């Protein structure tokens, strides 16, 4: 059996704290699988998604750049996430972390995928950066975001292939947060063979309230894929408010699991036959090609 899980966090501007919380959640997840099945948790294969900025959030983007610079030489952030994937025997789509760009002046907001051996099997650099003015924030003031000031946009879509013993390999398309507003990226990942598309996010409360669920369901329905969207939630140290409402959505657009507020885990089964059934009965890709 393959289980899909999303972990919702309220990450701090403290790497060690966040790693500890993630480890606690993964421990809960694997123990729950053992208790539910009455067997060793290794008989249940997990794909787990973490939120955007999972290891460092609640400070400004310049602090993210400093973290990228500090971890550049020893690869500390990736190593810590790799260790978690291996320890808890999960395929870990590790939200995003800042990785120093080649020019050294900016960082990429990167989603790193690790297999159960802790090996890095894919990395996606967020393409669509959050440069917006959001009205209706705290005290109805306009809030400005300019992610591109310190972040270098990615250029390529990324699909990772995960072999499992219980099912043929699963293809996972990687996206991040603001990408969800750009359907062409999701269509490209589906054309490449995606069965699942992950959406680690830190959606603002203002935009999340009106757009989050609609966008996620639309991407699932039009591409006939599972969506795993793991979000940041709550008020953070810099005053930013994130929406949470992490969700797992079926290829038919049904919400299979959701956690609205607080930190925690949601899970659902991956049923590849559902993808085949829906795509056979409603062949959208074939129609689009014609």
Measured CA angle at 246 (ends 174, 59), to 5 deg:
80
Nearest to 175 by CA among 149, 139, 200, 205: 200
| Of 41, 112, 158, 177, catalytic | 177
Task: Map tokens 């209706």 to a residue.
Answer: 136
Pairwise CA distance, residues 176 & 133, whole Å:
19
| Of 126, 147, 233, 263, catalytic | 126
- Cβ proximity of 122 and 83 under 8 Å: no
Tokens of residue 285, six digits: 């890709």
- The reply to whether 52 belongs to the active site is yes
Count CB-CB contacts under 10 A for residue 151: 24
- H/E run at residue 61: helix 61-71
Pairwise CA distance, residues 85 & 117, whole Å:
7
- The reply to whether 258 belongs to the active site is no
Tokens of residue 81, six digits: 């996430």
Backbone angles phi, psi at 83, to 5 degrees: -60, -40
- The reply to whether 126 belongs to the active site is yes
Task: Residue count of the chain, please give it.
Answer: 290
| Of 52, 147, 233, 263, catalytic | 52
Q: Which residues contact 224 (CB under 8 A, 6 or more apart)?
A: 190, 251, 252, 275, 278, 279, 282, 284
- Enzyme catalytic residues: 52, 126, 177
């Amino acid at each position: 059996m393959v289980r899909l899980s999303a972990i919702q966090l309220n990450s701090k501007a403290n790497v060690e704290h966040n790693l500890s919380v993630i480890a606690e959640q993964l421990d809960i997840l694997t123990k729950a699988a053992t208790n539910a099945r009455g067997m060793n948790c290794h008989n249940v294969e997990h794909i787990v998604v973490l939120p955007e900025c999972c290891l460092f959030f609640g400070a400004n983007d310049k602090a993210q750049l400093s973290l990228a610079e500090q971890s550049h030489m020893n690869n500390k952030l990736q190593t810590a996430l790799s260790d978690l994937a291996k320890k808890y025997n999960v395929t870990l789509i590790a939200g995003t972390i800042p990785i120093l760009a080649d020019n050294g002046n900016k960082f990429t907001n990167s989603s790193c995928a690790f297999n159960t051996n802790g090996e890095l099997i894919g990395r996606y650099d967020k393409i669509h950066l959050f440069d917006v003015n959001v009205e209706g924030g705290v005290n109805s003031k306009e809030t400005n975001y300019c992610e591109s000031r310190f972040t270098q946009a990615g250029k390529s879509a990324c699909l990772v292939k995960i072999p499992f013993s219980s099912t043929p390999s699963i293809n996972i398309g990687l996206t991040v947060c603001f990408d969800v507003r750009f359907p062409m990226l999701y269509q490209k990942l589906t054309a490449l063979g995606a069965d699942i598309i992950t959406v680690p996010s830190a959606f603002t409360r203002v935009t999340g309230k009106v757009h989050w669920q609609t966008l996620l369901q639309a991407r699932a329905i039009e591409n006939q894929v599972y969506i795993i969207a793991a979000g940041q939630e709550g008020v953070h140290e810099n005053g930013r408010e994130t929406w949470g409402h992490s969700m797992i959505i079926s290829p038919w657009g049904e919400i299979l699991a959701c956690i609205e507020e607080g930190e925690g885990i949601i899970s659902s089964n991956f049923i590849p036959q559902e993808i085949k059934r829906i795509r056979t009965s409603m062949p959208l890709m074939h129609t689009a090609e014609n």
